[in-house]
């Protein structure tokens, strides 16, 4: 993966920035640093300031695994154009069917995992998140969760940090969510920045030439063509994006 801010790649970034581009960001681990208690995740003040300015120059969306309302309260006042929650599902027409599926799973999982102290089932309405960070035997807890969810049938499992997410198999993923947002906001291209397994669904669409994918993190292999070494570099990318639009003379309309 090439570093997106390396001088050699400046031209590519500029071409995208000067096109009719949509910016998409994951939340945790991308805009907000990973914290040990997910409920404490927040935008650092510097990122908040920069993102507010970026959102004045570009249409911006955030696509997160969190529920939409959860992300919305963390981004209040920033001015992003859309927030998409539940790994790309929310909002989505036809969500009632997914809601019913999730409603069916929940009591089954509660029963199967009742013996496990410390496992918390978070109901995000269109998906479930099974947290095992508070379990003493995390490896065994994770194995128990995987056994329990496999018995549900046609599901998609997404592994997170000390959490196993369970989604309806055919629900839209982040890549589909981004494509739909492109249509809705009438954009031609997209720059998408993310660090998760689910962000790979976006990066997988890169060969169309319409997407510039930026994977955040140095460890994992990714389908993205570009990377930032870590979440701490996201501010640099935001600054570069602001500079590129300032240079081509578009004025910041202000907050
Ligand atoms: Mg993330």
Ligand 1 centroid from CA 73, angstroms:
17
DSSP 9-35: GHHHHHHHHTSSEEEEE-TBTTTB---
Ligand 1 centroid from CA 5, angstroms:
20
Q: At what angle do helices 234-247 and 10-17 cross, to 10 degrees?
A: 60
What is the pLDDT at residue 94? 74
What is the pLDDT at residue 251? 52
Ligand 1 centroid from CA 85, angstroms:
12
Question: Per residue of the chain (255 residues), what is the pLDDT tens digit?
Answer: 899 999 999 999 999 999 999 999 999 999 999 998 889 999 999 999 999 999 999 999 999 999 999 999 999 999 999 999 999 999 877 788 899 999 999 999 999 999 999 999 999 999 999 999 999 999 999 999 999 999 998 899 999 889 999 999 999 999 999 999 999 999 999 999 999 989 999 999 887 789 999 999 987 789 999 999 999 999 999 999 999 999 876 555 554
Q: Which of 26, 70, 195, 201 is catalytic?
A: 26
Six-digit token string for 221: 């292999």
Ligand 1 centroid from CA 43, angstroms:
13
| Residue 19, φ and ψ in degrees, nearest 5 | -85, 180
| Residue 18, φ and ψ in degrees, nearest 5 | -90, -5
Ligand 1 centroid from CA 144, angstroms:
24
Ligand 1 centroid from CA 30, angstroms:
6
Best CA proximity match to 34, nearest among 203, 217, 248: 217
Query: What is the average pLDDT score of the chain?
Result: 93
* Number of residues in the chain: 255
What is the pLDDT at residue 234? 98
Ligand 1 centroid from CA 83, angstroms:
14
Express each pLDDT in 169-227 by its tens digit. 999 999 999 999 999 999 999 999 999 989 999 999 887 789 999 999 987 789 999 99
Its pTM surpasses 0.75: yes
Ligand 1 centroid from CA 231, angstroms:
10
What is the pLDDT at residue 209? 82
Question: For residues 130-146, b (16+ Cβ closer than 10 Å) or e, as one string?
Answer: bbbeebeeeeebbebbe
C-alpha angle 3/4/8, rounded to 5°?
80
* Active-site residue flag, 207: no
């Amino acid at each position: 993966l090439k570093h997106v801010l390396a001088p050699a790649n400046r031209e590519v970034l500029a071409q995208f920035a000067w096109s009719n581009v949509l910016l998409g960001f994951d939340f945790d681990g991308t805009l907000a640093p990973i914290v040990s208690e997910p409920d404490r995740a927040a935008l650092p003040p510097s990122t908040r300031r920069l993102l507010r300015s970026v959102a004045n120059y570009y249409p911006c969306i955030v696509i997160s695994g969190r529920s939409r309302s959860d992300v919305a309260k963390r981004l209040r006042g920033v001015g992003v154009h859309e927030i998409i929650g539940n790994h790309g599902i929310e909002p989505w027409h036809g969500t009632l069917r997914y809601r019913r599926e999730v409603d069916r799973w929940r009591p089954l999982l509660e029963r199967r995992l009742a013996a496990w102290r410390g496992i918390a089932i978070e109901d995000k309405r269109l998906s479930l998140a099974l947290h095992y960070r508070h379990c003493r035997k995390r490896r065994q807890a994770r194995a128990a969760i995987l056994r329990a969810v496999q018995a549900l049938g046609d599901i998609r499992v997404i592994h997170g940090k000390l959490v196993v997410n369970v989604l309806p198999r055919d629900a839209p993923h982040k890549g589909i969510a981004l494509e739909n947002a492109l249509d809705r906001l009438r954009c031609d291209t997209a720059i998408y920045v993310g660090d998760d397994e689910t962000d790979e669904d976006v990066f997988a669409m890169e060969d169309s030439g319409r997407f510039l994918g930026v994977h955040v993190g140095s460890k994992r292999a990714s389908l993205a063509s570009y990377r930032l070494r870590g979440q701490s570099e996201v501010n640099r990318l935001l600054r570069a994006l602001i500079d590129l639009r300032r240079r081509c003379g578009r004025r910041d309309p202000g907050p």
